[in-house]
Chain A
């Protein structure tokens, strides 16, 4: 009697579990990778799940490298990356029978901002690096007033920091006197109130401060998209093989082309691609 009952329960449980797993597998999208692209993926996921309540999307931000690894191990459907996949990673994918397909979903541009009263209007990337490594200490050396430069950086957690470090610092380390703040808004706040400050922010955060040109190029959507502005880089999503537009993954990925998706990309501080 007892044993029969146990068997019966086990059977029901087993059937239930199988059904649930089948459902879950069908409608689950796993996304892993860059902390920079993470906000886009999260905004898309929220939007997509709102439209399709049966779909479950999980977004992890473990870094671009881990995203690539995940894709190679078939542990995610979409790998978000703030750099293109390296040859080594592509080779590993080939070995594992995975065909990584690249999609550029948006551009990431960084504006360099100073106080509106600061006469300095242009800096080269080398000068910028010199300011952040502490070799250039006074605005006087750059044609500005005689004031010690207050160097402000984003905290090392942020994607903006990561981008700046890649594009400007080139493996050199920031000076000890560099001040770290926790958000783009805080960077801008510090610069609006500090005449001798310099900081870098996402393109959406230049109101009320002076965005200087880098290598004589103004930072705006156009220069970021046409590649003239140097402090910019594409943001990627990788999938295994071409995905059909009829699948959830395909429809999710194509959001970046829609008006709604472009608005979301702008909301999280990046530059949507031209249609």
Chain B
């Protein structure tokens, strides 16, 4: 019996010529199938680039580059039509900047909190909840922005902005005062340090409080005439970009590793010092990559901006005035597509592809930068 079993096994191990051919063939088939499946996504990117470029090109042939990039007159249905996209490009940039101001500090702080401050059990609960933000459909965000947030901004804009200012600026001021007074006293004899530090801290915090009170006085007087403006979408897009920023920066902070943290503690550093001076600098490139990804998310978002940015093709005066309505590239493509497809081949049709191309180029640029930063980050991690 045992002999025959051995015989059987050896028969299976040594394949006949035919069997080995079949096996090689199936393996080839399997590999080519997997290759094809993988190629689909690569090809999709390639075809998107080819088709967008192909359809964007005629626009520049018809109208040239100058008007598109330098004029702010956007009247695609006018007679004669005008296709100045400068104000629309500015609108996209402005909204992205606003979203970054909201998403980056909040996201990075949340990531620090998740990775180094919260106890493990709480973190297990908090992270999935933050990630739910990414699962909410963007039209729901847009609806909220249009129906609830925009009227709220119109009626209580001053109060909302003041509360936001205090919530953001007070902790920042306290933190800054602490760090600066620490730095100031570094040069003087140890015995006089606590007193000097106290004086320095109090002056700085007093100054900050005075500035805050002054600032909120101005903010409270502010009336926002239209709630569908750049500020509205900046805040909403910032919240939408949060999960990306939190998730990726948290990964970067986690990747810093136990040895650096424990080394820092061993040298007598407090948890705050370890965070600010060791862990965050070590994870800086990862955090930068996270921020770029978050900004890309904000630039590419369409539904929210179409519903709540006001879609006014203008450069706000002054340009950083987030309280005025703006129009973004994505919203313009979405909003004008319906009309444009009736007049296939016209400048009106191709201008939308020119906009899509601008978005695509920006996206590629950002992706490239974030990849580059990420690679630097990984190689530094590897090198220690």
Q: Interface of A with B (CB < 8 Å)?
A: 35, 61-63, 66, 147-148, 150, 155-157, 161, 165, 171, 173, 176-182, 186, 189-190, 193-197
Which residues of A lie under 8 Å from residue B75 when comparing CB positions?
173
Which residues of A lie under 8 Å from residue B313 when comparing CB positions?
176
Give the contacting residue for B154; candidates A61, A157, A194; CB below 8 A.
Answer: A194
CB–CB B79/A176 < 8 A: no
CB–CB A176/B147 < 8 A: no
Instruction: Confirm or deny: B228 has a beta carbon within 8 angstroms of a beta carbon on chain A.
Output: yes
How many angstroms from the CA of A179 to the CA of B78 in the assembled complex? Answer: 16
Q: Digit string of B62-105 for contact with A (CB within 8 Å is 1, else 0)? A: 00000000001111111100000001000000000000000000
CB–CB A150/B225 < 8 A: yes
CB–CB B311/A176 < 8 A: no
Q: How far is the CB of A157 from chain B (nearest CB, A)?
A: 4
CB–CB A176/B87 < 8 A: yes
Instruction: Confirm or deny: B257 has a beta carbon within 8 angstroms of a beta carbon on chain A.
Output: no
Give the contacting residue for B151; candidates A165, A171, A182, A193; CB below 8 A.
Answer: A193
How many angstroms from the CA of A275 to the CA of B310 in the assembled complex? Answer: 42
With A177-B324, A180-B311, A180-B312: A196-B225 Cβ-Cβ less than 8 Å: yes
Q: How far is the CB of B138 from chain A (nearest CB, A)?
A: 15
Give the contacting residue for A177; candidates B147, B227, B325, B339; CB below 8 A.
Answer: B325
Closest A residue to B225 by CB, please name it.
A148
Which residues of chain B (134-150) have a CB below 8 Å from chain A? Answer: 146-147, 150
How many angstroms from the CA of A257 to the CA of B149 in the assembled complex? Answer: 45
* Chain B: interface residue total (CB-CB under 8 A): 34
CB–CB A190/B336 < 8 A: no
Q: How far is the CB of A202 from chain B (nearest CB, A)?
A: 17
* Nearest 5 interchain pairs by C-beta: A176-B314, A193-B151, A180-B311, A179-B310, A157-B339
CB–CB B312/A182 < 8 A: no
Q: Digit string of B339-368 for contact with A (CB within 8 Å is 1, else 0)? A: 100110000000000000000000000000
Give the contacting residue for B72; candidates A66, A176, A193; CB below 8 A.
Answer: A176
Which residues of A lie under 8 Å from residue B226 when comparing CB positions?
150, 179, 194, 196-197
Which residues of B lie under 8 Å from residue A165 when comparing CB positions?
77
Instruction: Confirm or deny: B263 has a beta carbon within 8 angstroms of a beta carbon on chain A.
Output: no
Q: How far is the CB of B299 from chain A (nearest CB, A)?
A: 20
Q: How far is the CB of A108 from chain B (nearest CB, A)?
A: 18
Instruction: Confirm or deny: B338 has a beta carbon within 8 angstroms of a beta carbon on chain A.
Output: yes
Give the contacting residue for A189; candidates B72, B146, B225; CB below 8 A.
Answer: B146
CB–CB B336/A157 < 8 A: yes
Instruction: Confirm or deny: B335 has a beta carbon within 8 angstroms of a beta carbon on chain A.
Output: yes
Which residues of chain B (213-227) have a CB below 8 Å from chain A? Answer: 225-227
CB–CB B77/A156 < 8 A: yes
CB–CB B225/A193 < 8 A: no
Which residues of A lie under 8 Å from residue B325 when comparing CB positions?
177, 179
Which residues of B lie under 8 Å from residue A66 when comparing CB positions?
342
CB–CB A190/B306 < 8 A: no
With A62-B342, A157-B335, A179-B325: A193-B227 Cβ-Cβ less than 8 Å: yes
With A157-B339, A171-B79, A186-B146: A179-B154 Cβ-Cβ less than 8 Å: no
Q: How far is the CB of B231 from chain A (nearest CB, A)?
A: 14
CB–CB B154/A195 < 8 A: yes
How many angstroms from the CA of A61 to the CA of B342 in the assembled complex? Answer: 7
With A176-B313, A179-B310: A156-B336 Cβ-Cβ less than 8 Å: yes
How many angstroms from the CA of A196 to the CA of B76 in the assembled complex? Answer: 27
Q: How far is the CB of A162 from chain B (nearest CB, A)?
A: 8
How many angstroms from the CA of A213 to the CA of B146 in the assembled complex? Answer: 28
